[in-house]
């Protein structure tokens, strides 16, 4: 069992990073092999809508997304962690998610080459916002949940938390436990 963590915050050691580490610790405690990718350390260009991937399944852009895509294909579950920036996901996470287009053909079906590896894959989400109302992150949840529903991926759930200062979430035992359990679920379901 492989669980891949995708960190969409530019802040290493920040709240999203702490909760993703908790989720990966949960997955590891259940016997999974884990890996974390920090999007801010990668070069990922925005989708150009050139449609070349519709035919080939390969993106025309030559950047780090090709390697990330391979890790997604190899994983049994992918947990994303991202803070709220201006009522949405970070630019790093948005560029990454838009590049999932290369998984699909012109009719928005999985490319035949990818379907066996993507079928039944788990997808989960952790969001952190500075607003005490965690539902400020609902637009991000909608993006990931809709992706799971549309693609028939296995939705693992969402951990939504609130924290303002860098590392503040480390004091929130409930959020850390929820993230840990999301990781355990990713590794066992």
Measured distance CA(119)–CA(166) in Å, rounded: 37
Q: Which spans in 35-104 are helix H?
A: 52-56, 65-74, 91-98
Arithmetic mean of pLDDT, 141-157: 95
The single residue listed with the structure tokens 């355990």 is 184
Arithmetic mean of pLDDT, 11-19: 97
Answer whether 148's CB lies under 8 Å from 142's CB.
no
Domain positions in the chain: 2-188
Measured distance CA(35)–CA(87) in Å, rounded: 28
pLDDT at 108: 87
Tens-digit pLDDT profile for residues 60-70:
999 999 999 99
- What CATH topology corresponds to 2-188? Rossmann fold (3.40.50)
The encoded tokens of residue 33 equal: 């092999």
Arithmetic mean of pLDDT, 116-137: 95
pLDDT at 70: 96
More confidently predicted of 22 and 189: 22
CA-based nearest residue to 79, from 12, 138, 21, 150: 21
Measured distance CA(189)–CA(171) in Å, rounded: 28
Arithmetic mean of pLDDT, 36-57: 93
Tens-digit pLDDT profile for residues 162-187:
999 999 999 999 999 999 999 999 99
pLDDT at 55: 82
Measured distance CA(122)–CA(158) in Å, rounded: 12
């Amino acid at each position: 069992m492989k669980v891949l963590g995708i960190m969409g915050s530019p802040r290493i050691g920040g709240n999203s990073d702490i909760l993703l580490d908790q989720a990966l610790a949960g997955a590891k405690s259940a016997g999974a092999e884990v890996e974390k990718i920090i999007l801010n350390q990668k070069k990922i260009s925005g989708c150009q809508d050139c449609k070349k991937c519709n035919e080939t399944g390969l993106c025309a852009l030559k950047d780090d997304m090709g390697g990330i895509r391979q890790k997604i294909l190899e994983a049994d579950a992918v947990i994303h962690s991202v803070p709220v920036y201006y009522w949405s996901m970070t630019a790093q996470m948005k560029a990454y998610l838009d590049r999932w287009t290369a998984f699909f053909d012109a009719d928005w079906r999985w490319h035949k080459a990818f379907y066996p590896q993507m079928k039944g894959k788990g997808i989960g989400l952790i969001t952190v916002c500075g607003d005490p109302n965690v539902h400020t992150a609902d637009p991000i949840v909608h993006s990931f949940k809709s992706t799971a529903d549309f693609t028939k991926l296995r939705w693992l759930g969402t951990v939504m938390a609130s924290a303002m200062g860098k590392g503040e979430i480390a004091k929130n035992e409930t959020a850390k436990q929820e993230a840990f359990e999301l990781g355990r679920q990713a590794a066992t379901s």
